[in-house]
A and B are shown apart, each in its own frame.
Chain A
Amino acid sequence: MDISLLHTGLAAGAALAAVPFLLHLIMRQTPKHVVFPALRLIQQRQKQAKKRMRIKNWLLLLARMALFALMALALARPTLNTETSLGDREVDTAMAFVVDTSLSMQYTERGSDRLQEAKARAGQILERATDRSEIFVIDTADPVKPAPVSPSLALKRIEAMTLRPANRSLNAAILQAHQSVAASNLPRREVYVLSDLTLSAWELGSSRIAELIEKNDVDKKKVSTFLLRLTPKEVVNVAVTSAEPASPVAPQGEPLEIRAKIRAHGQKASRVAKLEIDGVARGQKALELEPDTEAEAVFLTPPDLAPGVHQGSVSITGGTDFMEFDDVRSFTFTLQPAARVLLVASTENDALFVRNALDPDPSTLAPGTPSLFEVDRVTPAELPAKIAAGLDRYATIFLLNLDQVDDALWAPLGNYVRGGGGLVVALGDRTRAAGWSSPAAAELLPAKLVSVTPRIDDGFFARFDAAHPLFSRFAPFYDSELPKVPVYRHWKVEPQGGRACLWYSDNDPALLERTFQGVKTGHVLLWTTPLARRADQAGRGAWNEFPLSASFLGVMLETVGYLSGASSVQLTYEAGQDVVLPIDPARRAASFALTGPEPGVTDRVSPIPGASTLLVPAPSAVGQWKLEGKTAGGDDVRLGFSVNPPAQESVVVPILDEQITAVFGKPENYHLAEDADDLKREQAKGRIGFEAFPWLMMIILALVTAENLLANRFHREAAPAAVGGAKG
Chain B
Amino acid sequence: MAVTAEQFLKPEVIRQVSRLDLRAKFIVEGFIAGLHASPFQGFSVEFSEHRKYTAGDNISDVDWNVFAKTDRFYIKKFQAETNLNGYLVMDLSGSMGYTYRQELTKFEYGVSLAAALGYLMIHQQDPVGLIAFDQKVSQSLAPRSKRTQLANILSLLAKLRPGGPTEIAKSLHQVAGMIRHKSLIMIFSDLLADAEPIYKALHRLRHSGHDVILFHILDEAEALFPFQGMVDLEDNESNERLEVDADGIKADYLEEVARFREGFRKECSGARIDYVPLHTGMPFDKALTGYLSSRQARA
Listed in ascending order, the chain A residues whose CB lies under 8 Å from chain B are 29-43, 45-46, 49-50, 52-53, 56, 714-718, 720-728
**Which residues of chain B are near A728, meaning CB under 8 Å?**
286, 289-290, 293
Beyond A37-B192, A45-B256, A49-B249, whether A726 also contacts B289 by CB under 8 A is yes
**A39 in contact with B242 (CB, 8 Å):** yes
The answer to the question of B51 belonging to the interface, with a C-beta cut-off of 8 Å to chain A, is no
Contact A724 B256 (CB under 8 A): no
A38 to B252 Cα, complex, angstroms: 13
Tell me the bound Cα distance from A194 to B244 in angstroms: 68
Question: How close is B255's CB to chain A, nearest CB, in angstroms?
Answer: 8
| Residue B151 is within 8 A (CB to CB) of chain A in the complex | no
Q: B229 touches which one: A32, A39, A56, A714 (CB < 8 A)?
A: A32
Measured CA separation A718–B228 after assembly (Å): 9
The answer to whether A34 and B231 have CB atoms under 8 Å apart is yes
Residue of B nearest to A718 (CB): B250
| A32, B232: Cβ atoms closer than 8 Å | yes
A724 vs B248: C-alpha distance in the bound complex, in angstroms? 21
Contact A53 B218 (CB under 8 A): no
Q: Tell whether, in the assembled complex, residue A726 and residue B276 are in contact, meaning their CB atoms are under 8 Å apart.
A: yes
Judged by a CB distance under 8 angstroms, whether B184 is at the interface is no
Note all chain A residues with C-beta closer than 8 A to B275.
727
Complex-state Cα separation, A31 to B250, whole angstroms: 16
The one of B240, B254, B287 in contact with A39, judged by C-beta atoms closer than 8 angstroms, is B240
* 6 residue pairs bridging A and B, Cβ less than 8 Å apart: A32-B229, A35-B236, A36-B100, A725-B286, A726-B287, A728-B290
Collect the chain A residues with CB atoms within 8 Å of residue B142's CB: none
Which of A37, A42, A45, A716 has most chain B Cβ within 10 Å? A37
Which residues of chain A come closer than 8 Å to B276, judged between CB atoms? 726-727
Given contacts A718-B247, A727-B277, A39 and B261 within 8 Å (CB-CB):
no
Q: How far is the CA of A717 from the CA of B229 in the complex (A)?
A: 10
Encoded as 1 (CB less than 8 Å from any A CB) or 0, chain B from 219 to 261 comes to 1011110010111111111101011110111111110111011
Asked if residues A46 and B242 are in contact (CB atoms below 8 Å), the reply is yes
Specify which chain B residues have a CB less than 8 angstroms from the CB of A33 in the assembled complex.
231-232, 234
Chain B residues lying within 8 Å of A714, measured Cβ to Cβ, are: 247-248
Known: A31-B243, A724-B277. A41 touches B257 (CB 8 A): yes
Question: How far, in angstroms, from A357 to B298 measured CA to CA in the complex?
Answer: 119
A724:B192 contact, CB within 8 angstroms: no
In the complex, the answer to whether A53 meets B245 with C-beta atoms within 8 Å is yes
B95 to chain A, nearest CB (A): 3
Measured CA separation A415–B18 after assembly (Å): 147
* Shortest distance from the beta carbon of A48 to any chain B beta carbon, whole Å: 8
B6 within 8 Å of A by Cβ? no
- Complex contact A722–B223 (CB within 8 A): yes
Across the interface, name the chain A residue whose C-beta is closest to B93: A37
A37, B260: Cα distance in complex, Å: 14
Q: A718-B250, A725-B277, A726-B277 are in contact. List 12 more A-B contacts (CB 8 A).
A: A32-B229, A33-B234, A35-B98, A35-B233, A36-B221, A37-B237, A40-B235, A41-B253, A45-B252, A46-B242, A726-B290, A727-B275
Contact A32 B221 (CB under 8 A): no
Q: Are B248 and A37 in contact (CB under 8 A)?
A: no
Q: Is the CB of B256 within 8 A of A41?
A: yes
The smallest beta-carbon distance between B162 and chain A, in angstroms, is 10
- Expressed in whole angstroms, the Cα–Cα distance for A683 and B78 within the complex equals 107
Query: Which single residue of chain A is at the shortest CB-CB distance from B256?
Result: A41
Report A40 CB to chain B, min CB distance, Å. 6
In the bound complex, how far is the Cα of B192 from the Cα of A41, in angstroms? 8
A722 lies within 8 A of B244 (CB): no
- Please report the C-alpha to C-alpha distance between residue A725 and residue B252 in the assembled complex, in whole angstroms: 19
CB neighbours (8 Å) of A722 from chain B are 223-224
Most chain B CB within 10 A, of A32, A715, A726, is at A726
Taking CB atoms, residues of chain A closer than 8 Å to B237 are 37
In the complex the two chains form, is B235's CB within 8 Å of A37's CB? yes
Expressed in whole angstroms, the Cα–Cα distance for A511 and B191 within the complex equals 104
Which residues of chain B have C-beta atoms less than 8 A from A31's C-beta?
229-232, 243
Q: By the criterion CB–CB under 8 Å, are B236 and A37 in contact?
A: yes
Given A31-B231, A36-B235, A718 and B251 touching (CB < 8 A)? Answer: yes
Enumerate chain A residues within 8 angstroms of B282, measured Cβ to Cβ: 725-726
**Residue B211 lies at the interface, judged by CB distance under 8 Å to chain A:** no
Measured CB to CB, the nearest residue on chain B to A48 is B252
**Bound: A286/B55 CA distance, A:** 118
Q: Is there an interface contact between B234 and A724, defined as CB atoms closer than 8 Å?
A: no
Q: A43-B240, A724-B277 are in contact. Are A36 and B290 (CB under 8 A)?
A: no
Task: Let me know if A36 and B257 touch, CB within 8 A.
Answer: no
- Chain B hits for A726, CB < 8 A: 276-278, 282, 286-287, 289-290
